[in-house]
Structure formats: C-alpha cells, structure tokens
Amino acid sequence: YHRRVPKAVAHLHVGKTHITFSLNTSCIKTARLKRDRYNGQLAIQMQSALSPERETFKKHLLVADEYAEGIKDVNSGLFYDDFFPRNPIAHAAYRQVAYGEMNHPYTYTIKEALSSLLARKTSLSDDTKQKLNSSLKRFLTFMGVNDIDLQDIDKKSVVAYVEHLGDEYAHGTIAAHLSRLKSIWTHAFQLGEISIKQSPFEDHDLSPYKSGASQRKQLFSTEQLRKVLSDCPDEVKPLVKLGLYTGARISELCNANVEVVEGIKCLVVQKGKTDSAARYIPLVKQVANLPLPLKMDHKAAGRTFSRFKVSHITDDSTRSFHSLRNHFITAGQRTEGLSEFDVAYVAGHKTGTTMSFGHYARHDVKRLKQTVDSVAAQIEKEWDIKNY
C-alpha cells in the first residue's frame, strides 16, 4: 500500500510524506480488498480530523499555558526558544496566552465546537447527533474544506449555501440544516470560544422556498443571462450552456450519458428527482461542441456556480442555476406551434395521465429534436444571446 499522506491527517503521520506498508498477500483480489478497507478507515479519519494547523496550535497552547507567564518575567531565566520553535503557529499560541491576542488563523473550529457540544449534551438522542453531524458534513462539503475556523464563516458564504440547498430541498429541510449549524455556533459562544453572538446561520430569508408562488425561481434578466454565459467559471461553462438548452436539472446534467438514437445525438437521463426524470433529450446545435458526457460532481459544480452567481450576478435567492430550466420552459411556452406534451417530456415533467401513455408510450425522438430546436431559437430571440 502506498499513497501520499492526506493533508487533513498529516498530524497523525509526523515526518512522513507517504503512507507505505505491506498488505501481506500475493493475491491481487485480497490486496484490493485490504486497500479499500484501509482507504475507508483513512476517509473516516479525514472526516473527523480537525485542521492539522489547529491540532498543532492546540499542542503549543498546552505548553504556553504552563510557561508563557514565566517567559514574560525577565527575571525568571526562561526564554521563548527553550519551549517553542520559531514558527507562526507556536508564536500565535504563545501570544494568545501571554498577551490575549486572538487575531490569528488558528482559532476555534466548527468541528471542535460540534465535538464539544456532543460531549457536553449527553441527553441528545442518537438521531439528533446523527443529524448534527450530517448537517455539518454537508456544509463543509459545500465550502470545500475539511474544517473551518468559526470566525472565518461569513454571511455571504451561508447565503450561497442556502441557495445551493434551495435547488434540491424545500423550506423545512433548509431551515433544519441552518438551525443545527446555528446551535453549534451558539454552543461555542456560550463556552467563550468566540466573542460574536450573532450567528451567520440565522436571519435568512427562506420565503422563496415555502410552498406557493413565492417558491418559484425567477428568470435572469437579459444582461444577467449574458453575464452568466460569458463570465461563469470555465469548469462549469459547459454545464451552464447545457442547462439553458436542455432545461434539465443540475444533477441530471452532471450524471447523464450521451447516445445516438435514430441518428440523433441525445442526452440520456437515467434517473432524477421524479419518476418522469428518465428521458432522452435531443441536443441542439448550440451545444454540439461541448465535451459530453460531463460526468461531474453536481454538488461541487453547484457550489462553484452559486458562489459565482452571488459574487458577480445577484444575491437574489430566487435566481439560481435552476433559473436556466425556467428559461427553457418559458421559451417553450412562448414558441408558437409547440406541444406542451413534448416540452414537458424534455423538461422531465409528468406527461401521460394513463398507464398506457404514462408508462408504455415512447416519444418520437425526431419530433422532440424539432421541439428543442424551436425552443433554442426562441431562447436566442427572447434574450438576445445568439453570440454568447
């Protein structure tokens, strides 16, 4: 077994750059099983580990608690170099104890706060503990980090996270995730680990995600849509364009395959949010040159788009990646002569109301190609984006 030591668990392998050991077998099949088992154990360590720098800081903090005051005393005969190495982490630990300086990047982390919360509140049910862990894991995955200092979590990042959740979850689920994260913050404040009581996880407008008209995603303006197409990060540009010209959901786009059906190149969605999600979507000329299939992590892609949208387009939560789907369906509605039945099929909405039409019927791919071509032309006409 041989692999580079992951940064998240570097403190467990001091002085080593690689993990190397014998799997004690000459059988390839057995070796792979042992490798996968160890990788699983390593993944658990990585998920539960605090940031390596924070771990190192805490070790220096223990030393500082014992010797910092003596080092400050010029008559004690104790010197900084007797107890600490000359590096920023050790220096920050010493300054925190000796002078109360907290303005450093090694402060209390959200994982520490959760661990403390679970340890102190023993009356919490196993289900509640699991949900707290799950909500934190989901947030850290969105942020793209293994752990994060509480003081580094800002409101704007949480707004982007709320929008990301809104593409997949309803009001109640979003509110529950935010409530659990807020409880972690509140616990850290009650312990005196952070000085700010107001949590970035509270006071969010979740009305767009409630049932009723307020839940609906809104269209981008022409200028906003142009900017989305031209300025979005390169790694999600194909995804954005495909979303606009197929009307598919982000998870469907990232996992779809490509297949030629009756001589027509189609995006093949195997499964999705509803039973009607499985479908063929003929591809229009506007996406002919995209590198398909995408095969992307839809959560990572969603994070990338959400952050771009909030920072460069608008922080309006009713406008998100899902708005591209609205553009497609709206263009379909505004195109003369199109069958609502065909547009609904392409979008992955329920079509047949009987067993015969709903379960057994198969759409005419050539007719669907005419439908998506007409919708694509209407999109370019409605929002004047032919050259984008």
pTM comes to 0.52
The residue behind tokens 């539960």 is: 48
Q: Chain-centre distance of CA 349, in angstroms?
A: 26
CA 338-344-348 angle, to 5 degrees, is: 145
Domain range summary for the chain, segments of one domain joined by +: 2-48, 52-99, 110-212, 222-383
Q: Which residue has the tokens 């312990």?
A: 191
Are 153 and 166 within 8 A, CB to CB?
no
Q: Could you tell me what percent of the chain has a pLDDT over 70?
A: 90
d(CA 335, CA 183): 50
Which among 245, 144, 249, 160 has a CA at the least distance from the CA of 200?
160
| pLDDT of 168 | 81
Q: 4-13: long-range contacts (C-beta < 8 A, 24 or more apart)?
A: 6/42, 6/46, 7/52, 7/146, 8/45, 8/46, 8/49, 8/51, 8/52, 8/146, 8/147, 9/42, 9/45, 9/46, 9/49, 9/52, 10/52, 11/49, 11/52, 11/55, 11/56, 12/45, 12/49
Give the per-residue pLDDT at 361. Answer: 39
Angle between helices 155-166 and 298-308 (to 10 degrees): 130
Give 255's contacts (C-beta < 8 A, 6+ positions apart): 269, 270, 295, 298
Please report the pLDDT score of residue 351 as a whole number. Answer: 61
Assigned token pair, 21: 């050991």
DSSP 198: S
Please list the ranges in the chain whose pLDDT falls under 70. 8-9, 11-12, 44-51, 211-215, 272-276, 350-363
Distance of CA 89 to the CA centre of its chain: 29
Within 8 A by CB and 6+ apart from 103, the residues are none
Rounded to an integer, what is the distance from CA 304 to the centroid of its chain? 8
Measured CA angle at 368 (ends 366, 371), to 5 deg: 120
**Which residues on adjacent β-strands are paired with residue 269?**
279
Q: What is the pLDDT of residue 276?
A: 65
User: For the purposes of burial, counting CB atoms within 10 Å of the CB of 158, is it exposed (0-12), middle (13-18) or buried (19 or more)?
Assistant: buried
User: Under CATH, to which class is 222-383 assigned?
Assistant: mainly alpha
Determine the Cα–Cα distance for residues 375 and 340; give it in Å rounded to an integer: 12
Instruction: Report pLDDT for 155.
Output: 93
Query: Over the Cα atoms of the chain, what is R_g?
Result: 27
Amino acid 311: pLDDT:
94
The alpha helices in the chain, defined as continuous H runs, are 28-48, 52-72, 80-83, 88-99, 110-120, 126-143, 155-166, 171-190, 222-231, 237-246, 250-255, 298-308, 322-334, 340-347, 355, 365-383
119-157 tens-digit pLDDT: 899 888 888 999 999 999 999 988 888 788 898 899 999
Instruction: Return the SS3 of 3.
Output: strand
Class level of CATH domain 110-212: mainly alpha
